[in-house]
Structure formats: structure tokens, C-alpha cells
Amino acid sequence: MRITTNGFVVHKQDLNDFDILVTLFSQEHGLLKAVAQRAKKKPQLLAQLELFQEAAFIINRTDALGVIYQVDPIAFLPGIRDSYDSYMLASHFTIVTKTLLPFDMPHTALYSIYRQYLFLLSDNAYNSKQICLDFYGDVLYAEGLAIEKKPIAKARFRQIIYEYCGVTLE
């Protein structure tokens, strides 16, 4: 089955000398794993699979693992790579998202929040503590764990997530 979806590259792992296993966060399909065959031999494809890059993907899907057929970049967010703080926050937001979302489970609200905050990080015009608190509040609201959208402290957020899904966040 061939699927077309927009999403973000949230994790990459070398499989062998040529192939890369890519985890994508898609609005329509949630988290997906797909293999980019011979990506290390194709510099253009490798560049299109940078972390936190938004792209349109065409994936040939068999079982739980797909094969990336085509990648068309939508938004390259260089500001995230230009700043260590932005990169670390984007990584943290990805860990939170992957913790809350099982594979192949779409979550439109969580995708929108993730996308919004990656674009904020790319602009490099933010207060890192405040953006974290806002992100936590928005995520809890999207998950139905908060009555209203409001910033929340990291310790309280970690406690709520632990109670909700039994996972301790770093």
C-alpha cells in the first residue's frame, strides 16, 4: 500500500552501510517507521531527511515498516540547528511527543502543537523556560489532562505524564 503524508523526521538510525531507518511524525498517521534505502549514497535524499525537517513523504507500506519512495521538503528549519538551546528543546519536545503517542495512531492536535513549537524554536525569538511551560500546558490540554491551556511547571508535567501513561520523562 502506498501512502502520501506530510510529516517531520523525528529520529534516524543507521541500519547498515547504505540504509537509514527513519521515524516520522505525521498528522494523518502519527508515528511511522520507514527505511530510506541507499540514503547514504544519495546526498540529496540524505539532506532531505534531516531531523526536524518537514516534508511530504510517499511511502510504500508493508506491515509496520515502510520504504520511503519519495521526499519533497516543505519547511527546512535552520534556526533549530543554529542554536544549541533550540536543538535541545526540539529534542525534548520530540521525546515528549513520542512518549505520548503510540505508533500508527494519528493525533491531529498533538501534531499541530509539535509543528507550532518547532517553528517557534526555528525563529530563535523565545524565552526557553517560557516556551517549555507553554508546550507542557498545550500538550496536557490536547491530551484532555487539563481543563484549560496554561503554562505548567516541568515537575508537575512529569508527574501528570507518569500518572497518565506510566512513563518517566527525562
Summarised one tens digit per residue, pLDDT across range 70-110 is: 999 998 888 888 888 889 999 999 999 888 888 878 889 99
Same domain, 116 and 147: yes
Summarize the confidence of residues 125-130 as an average pLDDT.
79
Number of structural domains (the chain) is 2
pTM to 2 decimals?
A: 0.88
Boundary (domain end) residue, out of 75, 101, 125: 75
Same domain, 70 and 84: no
- Of 126 and 38, the one with more pLDDT: 38
List Cβ<8 Å contacts ≥24 apart for 43-50: 45/71, 46/20, 48/72, 48/73, 49/9, 49/12, 49/20, 49/22, 50/9, 50/76, 50/81
Give pLDDT, residue 170: 65
Give pLDDT, residue 163: 84
Give pLDDT, residue 47: 84
Domain that includes residue 110, residue range = 78-165
Same domain, 28 and 92: no
Same domain, 84 and 71: no
- Of 152 and 125, the one with more pLDDT: 152
Residue 124 has pLDDT above 90, yes or no: no
Q: What beta strand segments (E) does 16-158 contain? A: 20-26, 30-36, 54-62, 65-75
Same domain, 63 and 124: no
Q: What is the pLDDT of residues 1-13, one digit of tens each?
A: 899 999 999 999 9
Same domain, 44 and 85: no
